[in-house]
Structure 1
Amino acid sequence: MKTLIRLLAGVTSRFPWPVLAATFALTVVFAGLASTLESASGQEGFSPDSEEIRASERISERFGDSSTSSVLQVIIAEEGGDVLTREALEVLAALEEGIVASDAGEVISDRPDEPGIISYLAPVVQAMAAQGLTVEDLPDDATVKQLYTDALASAGPELGFASQLVPEGSGDTPEIGMVLVFVDTTTDIDDQIDREVAVADAVREVDETTPLEVSPFSFALLFGDQDDFLGEVAELFTLAFAIIVVILLFVFWVSPIGTTTRLASARRMLADTSVVMLTIVLVVLWMNGVGALLQRVGVLGPLTEVAQIVPILLVGLGVDYGIHL
């Protein structure tokens, strides 16, 4: 590394203007390429084999047809409690009403042979419909549990899927239940994300009005958080940049001893700090530009979230080299 640095220093000392011109030209080229850098979206960049992703794939295989609809999962939960209750039925009714009435209502895959919304409480809902009952007609939670048990026992495989939407072995007091919302698919991934985000927004509105926890989950929602992630990376980079500038101002401060005046010390401090930070900015631009170039020739794919954090690490690495040099 010292040999390389000395070589670069020697070339710069002998040919300063050509080096500056070449650096400027390369920076312009790499900055232009950096604007075309492709980034991957979604949490699979962090954990491609997580339990959540495996569960989503299993649900899609079991309940969804990828050619016509995608599956958004809604979790109804009460920690340490029970979601096989009258209250849960009321929440489910509010959830269905909220989704249908929202902007996402038009994209719900509601067909005669495939309901747009399927819940773990489907046996209870069907039993109530067959008997002409409403939620207000149910005196207590025990009645809900009895309807659930009887419906599963009499319907057989027709409603057997409902038992798969609650934790195995939870009996008639599950803490968590799942609702499946089928959303019409589109060939445009951005439109698909917008559709599922609209459903999720309707779910969150219901969550704000009930003591039960109502949470949406799907791949598209993970992808929809990409803008938030990029915003956080930008904030972290800016914050790291500002903190490092302050640190360098202290590190490069030279006390006015002997012939060094305070003005000369301040000038050197500002000059050294500016050179280091400018170099770091150039490194980030060049790195992204080279990455975009490698993507064009097929060597690299879209950058994952982990790779997108590298510029922040380069700030710290560049400062370390700057101080030691």
Structure 2
Amino acid sequence: MRILIRALAAVTSRFPWVVLATTLALTVVFAGLSTTLDSASGQEGFSPESAAIDASERISELFGDGSTASVLQVVIADQGGDVLTREALEVVAELAAAIAASPAGEAIVDRPGEPGILSYLVPVQQALAAQGLAATDLPDDAAVKALYADALAEAGPELGFAAQLVPEGGGDTPSLGMVLVFVDATTDIDAQIEREVAVADAVAEVDATTPLEVSAFSFALLFGDEDDFLGEVAQLFTIAFAIILVVLLFVFWVTPRGATSRVASARRMVADTSVVMLTIVLVVLWMNGVGALLQRAGVLGPLTEVAQIVPILLVGLGVDYGIHLTSR
């Protein structure tokens, strides 16, 4: 490394304008290429074996039945409470109506014998439908529990899946219940994400109107947070850049020996700081530009979220190297 630095210093001292022009030209080229850098979306780069994703895949195996439908899970929760209630039954009905009215309503797989929305309260819903009643016709929560128990006992294995949509051992006062939404799958990933995000938005609208906690989850929804992630990375990079800039101003401050040297001291401080920060910016641009070239050559694939954080690491490493180099 010392030999390389000395060689670069010798070339720069002998041909300063040539080095400057070459650096600017390469920077312009790499900056243009960096705009074509392909970035991957999704969270598999962070946690390919997360519990949430494993649970989603397990639910797809149990209820997806190998069909072309994607299973989106909606969890209705009342921590420390009970979701086998008339209020929860009304929330399930509101969920079905909101999802049907959403932009993704037409994509819900709803066929004879294959309902597009399957709730843990489906035994109660079927019992009410057979009697021509609605949730508002039930006098209290005890009536809901009685219908639920009777329907499960009479139907046997046919409605046995409903018991799998509440926590095991919850009895007649489960604190969680699950609603499965079957969304027609498409080969267009972006379109699939839009559909499931639309369902999640409908779920959020219902959540805002009830004291129960209603939240949606699916693997595709993780991809919908890409813009938030990129925004956080940009914000983190800006904050790191600003903080380090302030730190460098203190590090490179030279205590003047006389009153007449204050201007020279300030000029030296600004010059050293500017050189370090400008070099870091060039390094980031060059790295992204070279990465884009390697992608075009087929050497690299789309950058994951972890790889996209590398520029922030380069800021820290570049500052450390710049301080050592300038101090010497």
Q: TM-score, normalising length from structure 1?
A: 0.94
Q: Which residue of 1 aligns with 2:78?
A: 78
Distance in 1, matches of 2:171 and 2:231, equals 44
> Counterparts of 1:12 and 1:53 in 2: how far apart (Å)?
54
Q: Aligned pair 1:305/2:305, yes or no?
A: yes
Query: How many Å apart are 1:135 and its aligned residue?
Result: 1.6
Match of 1:292 in 2: 292
- After TM superposition, the structure 1 = structure 2 runs for residues 1-325 of structure 1, keeping only pairs within 5 Å, are 1-64=1-64, 68-257=68-257, 261-325=261-325
When the two chains are superposed, the root-mean-square deviation of aligned CA atoms in Å is: 1.8
Higher mean C-alpha deviation, range 237-246 or range 102-111 = 102-111
TM-score, normalization: structure 2?
0.93
- Name the CA shift for 1:22/1:169 in 2 (closer, same or farther; >3 Å): same
1:172 maps to a residue whose letter is: D
User: Partners of 1:137 and 1:171 in 2: how far apart?
Assistant: 24
Structure 1 residue 120 displacement after superposition = 0.7
Shift of 1:5: 2.2
Helix, strand or coil at the partner of 2:104:
helix
Query: Percent of aligned positions with the same letter in both sequences?
Result: 81
Q: 1:295 to 1:66 in 2, by over 3 A?
A: farther
Structure 2: give runs of 5+ residues left out of the alignment.
none
Q: Give the Cα separation in 2 of the matches to 1:62 and 1:292.
A: 42
What is the count of residue pairs matched by the alignment?
325
Per-residue deviation, 1:64: 2.2
Moved more, 4-13 or 280-289: 4-13
Secondary structure of 2:125's aligned partner: helix
User: Residues 277 and 65 (structure 1 numbering): CA distance in 2 closer, same or farther, change over 3 Å?
Assistant: farther
Distance change (3 Å), C-alpha of 1:289 and 1:260? farther
Gap change, CA 1:247 and 1:66, over 3 Å in 2: farther
Give structure 1 stretches of 5+ with no counterpart: none
Q: SS of the residue aligned with 2:37?
A: coil
3-state DSSP of counterpart to 1:75: strand
SS at match of 1:9: helix
One-letter identity of the residue aligned with 2:168: E
Question: What amino acid sits opposite 1:281 in the alignment?
Answer: V
Q: Deviations over 1:299-320 (max 9, x none)?
A: 3222221211111111111111
1:53–1:191 CA distance, 2 compared to 1 (3 A): same
CA distance in 2, matches of 1:54, 1:298: 31
Q: Partner letter of residue 323 of structure 1?
A: I
Distance (Å, rounded) in 1 between the aligned partners of 2:223 and 2:202: 18
Name the SS of the counterpart of 2:91 in structure 1.
Answer: helix
DSSP-derived class of the 2:164 partner: helix
Segment of structure 1 superposing worse, 299-308 or 271-280: 299-308
Distance 1:259 1:324, change over 3 A: farther
Q: Distance in 1 between matches of 2:259 and 2:175?
A: 76
CA distance in 1, matches of 2:66, 2:273: 55
2: distance between equivalents of 1:142 and 1:3?
Answer: 83
- 1:207-248 C-alpha deviation (Å, 9 max, x unpaired): 011010000111221101101110111111111111211221
User: 1:127 & 1:202 partners in 2: Cα distance?
Assistant: 26
Alpha-carbon distance between aligned partners in 1 of 2:66 and 2:187, rounded to the nearest angstrom: 11
- C-alpha distance in 2 between matches for 1:311 and 1:36: 16
Deviates more, 1:32-41 or 1:202-211: 32-41
The alpha-carbon deviation at position 202 of structure 1 amounts to 0.8
Secondary structure at the aligned position of 1:187 is classed as: coil
Runs (4+) of structure 1 moved beyond 3 Å? none
- Of 188-197 and 209-218, the range deviating more from structure 2: 188-197
Amino acid at match of 2:110: D
The secondary structure found in structure 2 opposite 1:165 is coil
Residues 266/300 of structure 1: CA separation in 2 closer, same or farther (3 Å cut):
same
Partner of 1:133, secondary structure, is coil
The one-letter amino acid paired with 2:123 is P
* Cα gap change, 1:197 to 1:32, in 2 (>3 Å): same
Separation of aligned partners in 2, 1:147 and 1:293: 65
Tell me the amino acid that sits aligned with residue 125 of structure 1: Q
